[in-house]
Structure 1
Amino acid sequence: MSSRSVLIERPGEHRLVAGPRPEPGPGEVLVRVAAAGICMSDREVYDGHRDAAYVRYPVVPGHEWAGTVEAVGEGVGASLLGRRTVAEGFRACGTCERCRSGDTSLCAAGYDETGFTRPGAFADHVVVPARLLHPLADDADLPAAALLEPAAVVAAAVRAGRPEAGERVAVVGAGTLGLLAVQLLAAASPAELTVFDPREERGAQALEFGASDARTPEEGAERAGRYDLVIETAGAPTTAASSCLLARRGGRVVLTGMFTPGAAGIDPVHLSLNQLTVRSVFGAPSSAWSFAVRAFGAGLIDPRPLITHEFPLERFSDAVALVGGGDPGVGKVLLRP
């Protein structure tokens, strides 16, 4: 049986390759990919803009995915065969002090992630350690479940922010992360849930997902110091600083956006005088994955409406060109092997 994959040999150069179906080794499973999402980090890999420490060429990208277990390696129970599943991307060692403390996204063994340093899911099949699986219900919507990776990142951010019922909450950015954050935060019964994004269409979608208000970033100055909790998801040059200005004195800010060098810094005077708590999130620990999968199974988050485009592997060029292009009509783009 053959298996195809999208191989980026070097920045800007890719080809669709075919070969024998990969076989899982000891402790591993082979998953037939049902759907894989393309995000900005995948576009950065393709364009060559990702930090060299966080990618290894040639690479098969794809870290947001869902599929069905098709084969198991030595030492893995046969009960997993046929299970619908997602899996964590970080290949945490499980034995260092950070992993043993539950902070698997801070593994001291070094960065190692499916789709960046290991073959990913822009392919018919992907091989992953069985210990990283999060099995889903038998009737789970697999294309929607492909968004559980960003949902896990959002879950890590929301859990770090510790929302309480009746609080005023803001979400900065209404992309995939921001709209998933709205769904999770709405389930926490905030008194006010405001989304800041320059795109009118995204603001309207945020309202459908449970936000109470949608405003442009320019209107943020009118809301300075208003919010108990601010979840930043945009990663724009100014949003780390502007998110801190939205928080009330003693408030909490969680940064999830991927910032580039030269982004506006957070004013240390404002930070200290207002006694803000500022956290950042990169990836998601195992606990956040479990939380996201539970929320998905319970219907607290529904990623399906975020999907706007689906392409076969053969049209990877068309698919990746849509990501990061600025078209407000482009939401989550999926590859469907």
Structure 2
Amino acid sequence: MSMSLHITAIAILSLHLLLLLANVNSSSSMDPYKVLNLIHNPNGTITRLDKYPQSPPSQDPNLPTPSLSKDLTLNPSKHTWARIYLPHKPTSKKLPLIVFYHGGGFIFYSAASTYFHNFCSNLANQTHSVVVSLEYRLAPEHRLPAAYEDSVEILHWIKTSKDPWLTHHADYSRVYLMGESAGGNIAYTAGLRAAAIVDEIKPVNIKGLILIQPFFGGNKRTASEIRLEKDLNLPLIVTDSMWNLSLPLGVDRDYEYCNPTVNGGDKVLEKIRLFGWRVAVFGCDGDQLVDRQRELVKLLEGKSVNVVGQFYSGGRHGIFVGDASMSQKVFDLVNGLH
């Protein structure tokens, strides 16, 4: 039932976009806030009119959930927290640890959103891993780098946590950072920041990054952005507006938070190469962001980072979380890393 609720929300959003895009020659003539169905308040905050379904955690082993789950406070002053997932029957052997960052253009969704809760619950079950999903601060109330700061803070939190699901079951020597869409951007940036402080987060030892349709951009339009400018699933006006609401004030789209290829890429990529981290980037041709994702793979290849690009024909943005058969491709890759 929860998945059907999400599909209904997507169908409503698609219909909303269809009505707005009809009879419009250029996306620039549309009100971006109407497209996003939000109100931009005078104080810089936004009122989010869409209420996406959320799911509570459950530690009841008798319920037919893929995994057990519970919520723990990360930083009460920032109202950040984490949802932890544990397979129903964890073995005595410690399990890989996946830190997950949800998507939503930096401005929408939550670790409790049914869409991401279901994915993380299945991820823990299918890959037999402990999954920690972060509830980070959203823009524009907290513009970047707030989410990046939270993404690294949770690594320090894991290091010192006394929670038995982590201390008894998680193998801190096998940690992977994973994110979808904006969460993929966050996972990448968290990886860069973590690579610069590896001694500070020990015994947390990152082995790789799994970036699912990561959200990147730039000043110059790519061919896929132009081709899919009015795609109902993710029109260009939506991504433009998300960047305008999330980037620091006064910077353009070629700022490093948005465009990872600027100035030839971050210098810390050399450390990622030396550490031998494995990086996987998922994408598909039906996503306007696909050219950005291919550019990232090309950048990493040029730095001799151990990277693989898994690109598929057709599809859409969000398909690797929203479609079970495509989610399985992510799970299969994770299982291959163990």
For normalisation by structure 1, the TM-score amounts to 0.30
For normalisation by structure 2, the TM-score amounts to 0.30
Going by fraction, where is helix more abundant, 1 or 2? 2
Structure number with the bigger relative contact order (C-alpha 8 A, sep ≥ 6) is: 1
Going by fraction, where is strand more abundant, 1 or 2? 1
